[in-house]
Amino acid sequence: MKKVLNVLLALCVVGLAYICVGSIMGTINFDKVRKTREKEIIARLIDIRSAQVEFRNQNGGQYTDNFDELINFVKTGSLPFVKKVGELTDVQLENGWTERKVTSMIDEARKATKPAVAKKIWQELAEAGFVTLAADGTPTLLYSRDTSWVAVLDTLYPKGFNADSLRYVPFGNGAQFEMAVGCDSSNKSGTKIYLFEAKTPYTVYLDGINKTELANIIDDQVKLGRYPGLKVGDVEMGNNNAGNWE
């Protein structure tokens, strides 16, 4: 009888040990999968943020809450690229020269229809050190700001990037990110600050791995007053488009 009890006790110990190990390994495996998936989701959210910032720059400071519009911008839009030659010296700055003034005068000289007018402008620029003049008066620029336009897709993303993927949550089985825009004018100056956010909850990309662990991390975030998932930007309070993982 004593031997039977010892065997049963041993089996109970083994069973409890198995349960404890299983619980620990379940947590470790869940965290491992979570980190792997969130790495890709964070990268996608950063891609969305990059597109939104450039969209805002070309649309009066406003973002879009429409993925079709954002993706079309990425596919067909262009960004200004300024090629810079030369920098303003301290002396030139002290003499009242600005980048706008120099570029405006160069443009004016180029478009002048009267040779005398062009000659006078080039001479002033030469005396200030922005151009050199050949014997025949031909100018060589020592300072210039030339703008060209480059494709958004080629500038922001690596070769072969699929713009259509922006809307989809990695490991989300076809689920799309939630995207919204807002406006904050509560600052002292009353200036409107346009806001955006893109997010996806834990339940979209962690469902089916470990229900207990998923419920625990959701509960933890809710108790802390945080969004239970990954999110970039915020439509209620400006945060400079930061991600909640940063």
Could you say which DSSP state residue 173 is in? Answer: T
Residue 147 has a pLDDT of 81
β-bridge partners, 139: 133
pTM: 0.73
- Cβ atoms 99, 145 nearer than 8 A: yes
Rounded Cα distance between 83 and 148, Å, is: 8
Rounded Cα distance between 204 and 229, Å, is: 9
Residue 223 has a pLDDT of 95
CA 178 to chain centre: 16
Q: Which residues contact 114 (CB under 8 A, 6 or more apart)?
A: none
- Cβ atoms 171, 41 nearer than 8 A: yes
Residue 6 has a pLDDT of 55
Residue 26 has a pLDDT of 57
Residue 237 has a pLDDT of 86
Rounded Cα distance between 190 and 16, Å, is: 63
State in Å, rounded, how far the first CA of the chain is from the last one: 62
Calculate the alpha carbon distances from 223 to 34, 82, 198, 200 in Å: 20, 48, 22, 18
pLDDT digits (tens, 9 = 90+) for 178-230: 999 998 876 666 778 899 999 999 999 999 899 999 999 999 999 999 999 99
Residue 146 has a pLDDT of 83
Rounded Cα distance between 213 and 217, Å, is: 6
Residue 19 has a pLDDT of 45
pLDDT under 50: residue ranges of the chain: 10, 12, 14-25
Residue 194 has a pLDDT of 93
Residue 66 has a pLDDT of 97
